[in-house]
Amino acid sequence: MAYSDKVVDHFNNPRNMGSFKKDEEGIGTGMVGAPECGDVMKLQIKVQNDTIVDAKFKTFGCGSAIASSSLATEWLKGKTIEEAQQIKNTDIVQELNLPPVKIHCSVLAEDAIKAALADYQKKVGDKTEAAT
Amino acid sequence: MPVLSEQVEFRMAHHTHTSGSRDIQMARSMCWHCQSEMSGEYFCERCVKVQPVSKETDYFTCFGLPRRLTIDQSKLEAKFYELSRAFHPDFYQNKSEAEQTISLGNAATLNTAYRTLRDPIQRAEYLLDLEAGSVKEIRTSPPSDLFEEILELQETMEAYRASDRASQAGHELRAQLIAEQEALERRKRDMEQQLQRLFTDWDTLQDRGDAGAQARAERDRLLKHMRDILSNRTYVKNIVNDLVATIG
């Protein structure tokens, strides 16, 4: 099976690979895995004033999983939390031209985004709670 | 799954277990050829025509085995060879096209079934899907410690690939990766042993056929535990494969 040009591009030049310190202020971390294929994805967002100013990822998996998470970090940058919630795996499938057998990679990326957002919101919530 | 059907299923499985593989109680309809009610296993008893394996027939039933995590391997093998002979294309050369298609389809299904049941892990994944729906439906909490470890290890591998293999740094990275590989393989073996114990517990519980609340809770607990270990094992297996490929 041949990968699309966009997948190959993200695979060869992954955007925003790396990580932030988990406990730093404004960082949300999403850690997800696909038990069926054994892929692991870590996606982090850096939030300032409700806007995602930076995003990073690390992925252990196939080319499509790497491309999906790389693309996700690109899309996340500059979005508000609410806008980021709207990103769907189908958008990723479309952009990367993923074949049916690789759709679960995009699902994993969406899960990672959701998990990172939830983690950020939980951290903010905990802090507000502690302050009151 | 409602409690009642669970009980019925249990009795059926138990029945096939005790009465041998020859007279499996399969939900069969009619013979495609003579339309008489089907009573045979893979061949109509009236017109002797080969019958297609129904899509609803699970792999265990195909081989007349009880739906359990621990199975009699020699029985599985013997039955597989017996059926492979029965559906061998050589015996269908002079038969109708319909019979050729059916026997070929059966042979393919039984091959997949045999490969799945032969491997204890694949067998477990298959049976758990049968008993409790797809793995995806039970969301297990991701083992973040293991994930961190995997991602870190991946970086070490990256560094090793980029390093000069003959240099001191290259040697050190290689030694580190070899040690990691051994540790992970030990962990994989531990997981498999743990699974083996859980398989026995699960089978014992199924054999009891108790549908009470306590048994159900125990069943759910075992199911989740097995799922967790099975998926963690997949992660470990993948990273070990990658390590092996990297170290060479």
In this predicted structure, the answer to whether residue A38 has a pLDDT above a threshold of 90 is no
Q: What are the structural domain ranges in chain B? A: 20-118, 144-247
CATH class of B20-118: mainly alpha
Nearest to B225 by CA among B205, B241, B244: B205
d(CA B129, CA A36): 12
- Residue B187 to residues B15, B141, B173, B182, B230, Cα–Cα distance (Å): 38, 19, 21, 9, 12
Beta bridge partners of A41: A32, A59
Give the model's pLDDT for residue A1. 58
Residue of A96, A105, A107, A108 marked active site:
A105
Nearest to A38 among B148, B154, B238 (CB): B238
Residue B69, pLDDT > 60, answer: yes
Q: Determine which of A20-34, A63-77, B3-17, B103-117 has the lowest per-residue pLDDT on average.
A: B3-17
Confidence check: pLDDT of A96 > 80? yes
Degrees (nearest 5) of the Cα angle B142, B238, A11?
Answer: 90
pLDDT band at B31, cuts 50/70/90?
confident
Q: ipTM beyond 0.90?
A: no
**Minimal-distance CA residue of chain B relative to A41:** B147
A-proximal residues of B, 172-231, CB under 8 Å: 227, 230-231
Active site residue A105: yes
C-alpha distances in Å from residue B201, one per residue of B91, B210, B224: 43, 14, 13
Cross-strand partners of B77:
none
Mean pLDDT, rounded, for A67-76: 96
**Residue labelled with tokens 């993948």:** B238
Q: For residue A21, what pLDDT is reported?
A: 93
Chain A residues whose beta carbon lies within 8 Å of the beta carbon of residue B135: 35-36
Average predicted confidence (pLDDT) for chain B: 83
pLDDT at B15 over 60: no
HSE (CB half, 13 Å, CA atoms) of A86? 6
pLDDT at B21 over 60: no
pLDDT score of A114 more than 90: yes
pLDDT tier at B20, thresholds 50, 70, 90: very low
Q: What single letter denotes the amino acid at residue B209?
A: G
CB contact under 8 A, B234 and A42: no
Looking at the complex, does the CB of residue A33 fall below 8 Å from at least one CB of chain B?
yes
Residue B27 structure tokens: 């939900």
Task: State the pairing for strand pair A39-48/A27-34.
Answer: antiparallel
Q: How far apart are CA B28 and CA B36, in angstroms?
A: 11
Q: pLDDT tens digits, residue range B211-242?
A: 899 998 998 899 889 988 998 999 999 999 99
pLDDT at residue A9 tops 60: yes
Distance CA B90, CA B28 (A): 27
pLDDT (0 to 100) of residue A37 = 78
